[in-house]
Amino acid sequence: MTSVVVIGAGVGGIATAARLAQHGYQVTVTEKGERAGGRCDYLLKDGHHFDTGPTLFVMPQIFAQAFADLGERMEDHLDLRRVDPTYHVHFGDGSTLLLTSDLNAMQTQLEAIEPGSFGGFLRYLNEGRLHYKLAFPNLAERNLSRLPEFCSLKNLLLIFRLKLLTRHYDNMGNYFTDRRLKAAFTFQDMYMSLSPYEAPAMYSLLQYIELADGMWFPMGGMYRIVEALMDIAERSGVRFMYNAPVEQINIDGRQATGVTLADGRQMQADIVVANADLPYVYRCLLPDDGMAKRLERKRYTCSTMMFYWGVDKQYPQFGPHNLFLADNYRQSLDRILKDLTLADEPTFYMHTPVRVDPSLAPEGHDTLVVVVPVGHINDAAPQDWSAIQKRARQLVLQRLAQIGADDLDEHIKFEVSYTPRDWLSRYNLTKGSTLGLGHNLLQMGYLRPRNRHARYRNLYFVGASTHPGSGLPAVLLSARLTTERVLQDVGIPQVAPVMTPATTL
């Protein structure tokens, strides 16, 4: 049987392992942490359940396809609830906007902010739809490992059709005049760690996806996704090892022969798949061939300062997803992405999952996750994370006080906080960049690190820093593309395993 070692049990690693096992490979996943999930993790304390990483479940059709490819139905594993309004947006001047798929409600709100803007909104959504329909099949959902595939005439035309050379924020002038609306429909670019002042207008697809396909939440929290994938992987025969960090990928000539664990154990394998963050793999697990240095010079996504608060009170003004946009939107983004620090007036996000699933906190209490984007770690001019953390906390509490939560600090029962250093040490994320390599034009498609090593032909990559990019849907696509590449190279082993049926109570 062809053996595979997968380094890392993130969502990308588990999904690839399950797919390969179902094709007849003998798969072992070795994970540095004490459980699976990677960045899609949780924290349980005093009856409060926090999703410590992802909180936004978008593009359910990609999840459903991933389950279907594994022979299962998503609805048998995840109890998804639609979240609408998607965001409670709070502008710096105190005004608000509830983003919703309810067009009548959008019309009333938008017309009150800027007369005539509802028409612009509909046209903007339509452009987002066009960008989505063009970008996904052509750029995201297929392997672009050869230059002619990427630079085909069809793709070159996409430069214009996807407005790749137009800045997203400049493009907003075609739809809205009010700067609050321009901000409310571009802030999602930060999920790609791009400022809309430099991101291509193509990223209007993000707003379309959220409002058209909806925002969802799995009851029980985002970790349910990991549990579901683990269940399928284990029943498909995948073996998981925890607290088992890989120290080195063993190489012989042009082949990877397996891995050496930090405790000295050797694992032989015909194929190695690295799910750990790709720049880290080149820097720490492979012989130096200059690639680690080249990757070092690439653009990295921002990091985040996290606050997980168990609160003994509920604030009705908090929706499930709350976004606080700085009045000086551009400056707040520049401080993060250019100055690599905390904005003077931060734009931040807060998740209140109890609004959707009351079981995630004791009755009458709240579970709050605050995500404050900050610059990634800069070794050349090290940041004082402890001072930044204190300042971020103070600014967040001040901002929340402005919407009536002025006694929040007194009601915080406990606090857990992560700084960029935690992202680095927990998951080996280079520079503590929460979303891995950036998603600017020069780091997309063919220009993003490929899912197979150029020299070691049986070493593959899967996950956020490979093609197509970061976010759970993209990582699930990456798992499909990496599996396809392995099958193309190696073929389907002769003996296919039998799926063990799910245990029923």
Binding footprint of ligand FAD on the chain (CB under 6 A): 7-13, 30-33, 38-40, 53-56, 245-246, 275-277, 304, 371, 427-428, 434-435, 463-464, 470-472, 475
Pick 171 or 434: Cβ nearer ligand FAD:
434
Structure tokens at 88: 């409670």
List 42's β-bridge partners, or say none: 51
Smallest separation (angstroms) from ligand FAD to the CB of 274? 8
Structure tokens at 260: 């050496």
Selection from 398, 302, 400, 381 nearest residue 342 by Cα: 302
In the chain, the largest separation of any two C-alpha atoms, in whole Å, equals 67
Smallest separation (angstroms) from ligand FAD to the CB of 422? 10
Smallest separation (angstroms) from ligand FAD to the CB of 178? 27
Using the structure block, give the residue that is written with the tokens 């090892």. 241
Smallest separation (angstroms) from ligand FAD to the CB of 349? 9
Pick 360 or 475: Cβ nearer ligand FAD:
475
Contact between 379 and 329 (Cβ < 8 Å): no
Pick 63 or 176: Cβ nearer ligand FAD:
63
Instruction: Return left, alpha or beta for 238; rule: phi > 0 is left, psi -120 to 50 is alpha, else beta.
Output: beta
Assign 424 to helix, strand or coil. helix
Pairing, β 348-351 against β 321-324 = antiparallel
Pick 131 or 376: Cβ nearer ligand FAD:
376
- Judging by beta carbons within 10 Å of its beta carbon (0-12, 13-18, 19+), is residue 440 exposed, middle or buried? middle
Distance of CA 493 to the CA centre of its chain: 32
| Helical residues (DSSP H) of 300-412, grouped into ranges | 329-337, 385-401, 408-411
Pick 434 or 458: Cβ nearer ligand FAD:
434
Contact between 351 and 217 (Cβ < 8 Å): no
Pick 110 or 302: Cβ nearer ligand FAD:
302
Smallest separation (angstroms) from ligand FAD to the CB of 439? 11
Phi, psi of 251 (to 5 degrees): -125, 140
Smallest separation (angstroms) from ligand FAD to the CB of 479? 8
Pick 171 or 193: Cβ nearer ligand FAD:
193
In angstroms, the CA 118 to CA 108 distance is 8
Smallest separation (angstroms) from ligand FAD to the CB of 347? 15
Amino acid at 312: D
Pick 9 or 199: Cβ nearer ligand FAD:
9
Smallest separation (angstroms) from ligand FAD to the CB of 16? 9
In angstroms, the CA 80 to CA 87 distance is 17
Using the structure block, give the residue that is written with the tokens 């790709």. 278
Pick 264 or 501: Cβ nearer ligand FAD:
264
Structure tokens at 255: 């082949």
Smallest separation (angstroms) from ligand FAD to the CB of 468? 11
Distance of CA 315 to the CA centre of its chain: 28
Residue facing ligand FAD at closest CB distance = 10
Selection from 467, 461, 503, 449 nearest residue 486 by Cα: 461
Smallest separation (angstroms) from ligand FAD to the CB of 436? 7
Structure tokens at 176: 């809205």
Pick 130 or 261: Cβ nearer ligand FAD:
261
Smallest separation (angstroms) from ligand FAD to the CB of 191? 7
Residues 6+ apart with CB under 8 A from 347: 187, 190, 323, 324, 325, 326, 329, 332, 333, 373
Smallest separation (angstroms) from ligand FAD to the CB of 389? 15
Pick 142 or 283: Cβ nearer ligand FAD:
283
Pick 158 or 474: Cβ nearer ligand FAD:
474
Phi, psi of 56 (to 5 degrees): -105, 115
In angstroms, the CA 339 to CA 161 distance is 33
SS3 content of the chain, % helix, strand, coil (to 5): 40, 20, 40
